[in-house]
Chains A and B, each alone.
Chain A
């Protein structure tokens, strides 16, 4: 079902004291609504208000955020004014326009001051939904009400529609293949298959336990299965923890790099820029080195047999030449050609083939078809001559390749040495913060490298354990089939196990299909949105969910994109997921243009509204982002009535929202 937001009403929520209303009108040719606000004025809390109302979650805060010492959801000024035994409610109401008619979604949270003067808050917020059913408005409250909203747009997909610009820019900068795989999992709704598999696995375990282990073998296998399953679970938990840690370390290292790169000391900033450029060069050089080494190895594999058998090949060649000299092997002339000459009775020189010359040619034609071996020998002679020339050019060719390899290694060594020097220079800088960040950067690099190695080992252990489990289950099935008892249980167990196998296979097939779809859509979107259309040849997502952006020169430049290019890559990926998910909801982006260069700003503000034509696009922007060029570009798509500005009070503790005419 397609929906758009027709109004948002916010009461006593975060810095919004009293009630603020934002109405949105619709226009067939325009799709952009704007909310202008300084940093910290409350733009992000407007986005939070929307996700809180719909899902009870604030997008900028983690799900398990229950820190009572932090700012409460209810406006603090309103709380301060409360007398004892008085209460107050924070409320966000969203009116939606849907295909089936208007909806009203309201979430509230109550708090108050107790008789003793302590503040208290309800444990959970309350949700109510008014929606049309058979032409009548139906009101729903309670736990299951959330299902209605999840049918409009599942909570798992909310981050693809309600977007934090900063996070989107960082998505591919710090994202790991696990994140990409997770995003594709969410969108492909494979969760349904995973849950069915999990629940059927529990049935399988219960059934196995119910089977009377009447033979010692059966008992032994059952015990081993349980042990292996336990080990697998433990290992999966460990892997998850390490992956999470790795993800956190990547995020932190990106922040450290950004801190150094934008440091107000020009020396540090330029050193960090040089380091990042060196790292790019090193990646490219490593790629070239790998390619060259592969070329050398392939060449060696191809030529090695000839070099080892050089003596034998020379002997063979000698034998063939001797036979040719003796006339036992004729030169390579096609039998058909001689037959034609004999049939025509005329030589190619013009003379008639009669008498002795005809006789000689007839003798020759017999030799031509002497034997298959002769033919092989003649072909072999030419091939051996080719091999000789390959062997002859081998020393020069291998030297040239080795020279190129050594050259790459030299360049790498120099650049790596320079990297070390930069690190030393930064560590010796006389600002404590810089030294601390540099040390942390080194520590994080070590941790990431170590965790990557641990993950390789753990994943390999997991593969071995999974194979063991499969073998044990097969053994169990064999043992069970020998057992005449438990027929009914055996039948159930077989059914559940077969279903699990089909589900596992389905999961793999679907994931591959969706990955291809996402990759295709991602390429199309990126080509549409990116300014430098000819600089990138393609984007690939391999079977390990590793995303590569291929430069026209063949390099993977995923780590070398500008902030604008990262944003476009993120937007293209999100749009691909949005399209594939099939859900049609408004797209709301907080700070879409921050840190983006002018050229990309211009391009995004021209292309994005057109790219999302027909979709309600709400942009929350700072005055810096909304410069003259952006204004001019967006004017074509902006619905003027939907232009709002957030204003703060003098103390910058409370905010209000009002319509803005752009002046």
Chain B
């Protein structure tokens, strides 16, 4: 998985075109960035769940990480 590859651009552009809600867009972008960070790494499922719950909270609070 390569950051900045043509495919990541394509994925992000498609989300941008088909989503108007800034919060939804923000959560998806955060999720994809996190997945890219943990790609091929062994992370405990409970840690992933915690991270996702934190992401949801951050997006709703409008906090920047």
Asked if B18 and A506 make an inter-chain contact with CB atoms under 8 angstroms apart, the answer reads yes
Interface of A is mostly: helix
How many residues of B sit at the interface, in one of the four size bands? 35 or more
Asked if B7 and A188 make an inter-chain contact with CB atoms under 8 angstroms apart, the answer reads yes
From B18, B27, B41, give the contact of A505 (CB < 8 A).
Answer: B18
Q: Which of A184-231 contact B (CB under 8 A)?
A: 188-193, 195-196, 199-200, 202-203, 206
Question: Which of A139-147, A159-167, A565-573 lines the interface with chain B?
Answer: A139-147
The count of chain A contact residues (Cβ–Cβ below 8 Å) is: 36
Asked if B31 and A502 make an inter-chain contact with CB atoms under 8 angstroms apart, the answer reads no
Asked if B24 and A495 make an inter-chain contact with CB atoms under 8 angstroms apart, the answer reads yes
A612 within 8 A of B: no
Closest to A188 in B: B7
Q: Which of B5-52 contact A (CB under 8 A)?
A: 5-8, 10-11, 14-15, 18-19, 21, 23-25, 27-28, 31-32, 34-36, 39-42, 48-49, 52
CA distance A199 to B32 in the complex (A): 11
From B7, B15, B23, B31, give the contact of A200 (CB < 8 A).
Answer: B31
Asked if B27 and A499 make an inter-chain contact with CB atoms under 8 angstroms apart, the answer reads yes
Closest to B7 in A: A189
Asked if A582 and B24 make an inter-chain contact with CB atoms under 8 angstroms apart, the answer reads no
Given A203-B56, A495-B60, A502-B15, the answer on whether A195 and B49 have CB atoms closer than 8 Å is no
Asked if B28 and A503 make an inter-chain contact with CB atoms under 8 angstroms apart, the answer reads yes
CA distance A254 to B8 in the complex (A): 38
* Interfacial chain B residues near A583, Cβ < 8 Å: 2
A151 within 8 A of B: yes
Asked if B2 and A498 make an inter-chain contact with CB atoms under 8 angstroms apart, the answer reads no
CA distance A492 to B36 in the complex (A): 23
Asked if B24 and A499 make an inter-chain contact with CB atoms under 8 angstroms apart, the answer reads yes
* Interfacial chain A residues near B59, Cβ < 8 Å: 495
Contact with B along A257-298 (1 / 0, CB 8 A): 000000000000000000000000000000000000000000
Q: Shortest distance in angstroms between A95's beta carbon and chain B's nearest beta carbon?
A: 22
* Interfacial chain A residues near B8, Cβ < 8 Å: 189, 192
Q: Shortest distance in angstroms between A99's beta carbon and chain B's nearest beta carbon?
A: 13
* Interfacial chain A residues near B36, Cβ < 8 Å: 192
Asked if B39 and A150 make an inter-chain contact with CB atoms under 8 angstroms apart, the answer reads yes
Asked if B31 and A199 make an inter-chain contact with CB atoms under 8 angstroms apart, the answer reads yes
CA distance A503 to B31 in the complex (A): 11
Asked if A510 and B35 make an inter-chain contact with CB atoms under 8 angstroms apart, the answer reads no
CA distance A352 to B14 in the complex (A): 75
Closest to A502 in B: B19
Asked if A196 and B24 make an inter-chain contact with CB atoms under 8 angstroms apart, the answer reads no
Q: Shortest distance in angstroms between B13's beta carbon and chain A's nearest beta carbon?
A: 10
* Interfacial chain B residues near A636, Cβ < 8 Å: none
Which one of A146, A195, A200, A513 has the greatest number of beta carbons of chain B within 10 Å?
A195
Q: Shortest distance in angstroms between A233's beta carbon and chain B's nearest beta carbon?
A: 16
Asked if A147 and B32 make an inter-chain contact with CB atoms under 8 angstroms apart, the answer reads no
* Interfacial chain A residues near B34, Cβ < 8 Å: 196
Asked if B39 and A203 make an inter-chain contact with CB atoms under 8 angstroms apart, the answer reads no
Asked if B60 and A492 make an inter-chain contact with CB atoms under 8 angstroms apart, the answer reads yes
Given A192-B1, A582-B2, the answer on whether A146 and B31 have CB atoms closer than 8 Å is no
Asked if A199 and B49 make an inter-chain contact with CB atoms under 8 angstroms apart, the answer reads yes
Q: Shortest distance in angstroms between B46's beta carbon and chain A's nearest beta carbon?
A: 10
Q: Shortest distance in angstroms between A150's beta carbon and chain B's nearest beta carbon?
A: 5
* Interfacial chain A residues near B48, Cβ < 8 Å: 199
Asked if A196 and B28 make an inter-chain contact with CB atoms under 8 angstroms apart, the answer reads yes
From B11, B49, B52, B53, give the contact of A193 (CB < 8 A).
Answer: B11
CA distance A559 to B14 in the complex (A): 37
A154 within 8 A of B: yes
* Interfacial chain A residues near B57, Cβ < 8 Å: 492
CA distance A229 to B10 in the complex (A): 31
A496 within 8 A of B: yes
Besides A154-B1, A499-B28, 16 other A-B contacts (C-beta < 8 A) = A143-B42, A151-B2, A192-B36, A196-B35, A199-B48, A199-B49, A200-B31, A492-B57, A495-B23, A495-B27, A495-B59, A498-B24, A499-B27, A509-B14, A582-B2, A582-B6
Question: Can you name 15 A-B residue pairings with CB atoms under 8 Å?
Answer: A190-B11, A191-B1, A192-B1, A196-B28, A196-B34, A492-B56, A492-B57, A492-B60, A495-B27, A495-B59, A496-B56, A506-B14, A509-B14, A509-B18, A510-B7
The 4 closest A-B pairs by CB, nearest first: A196-B31, A189-B7, A502-B19, A498-B24
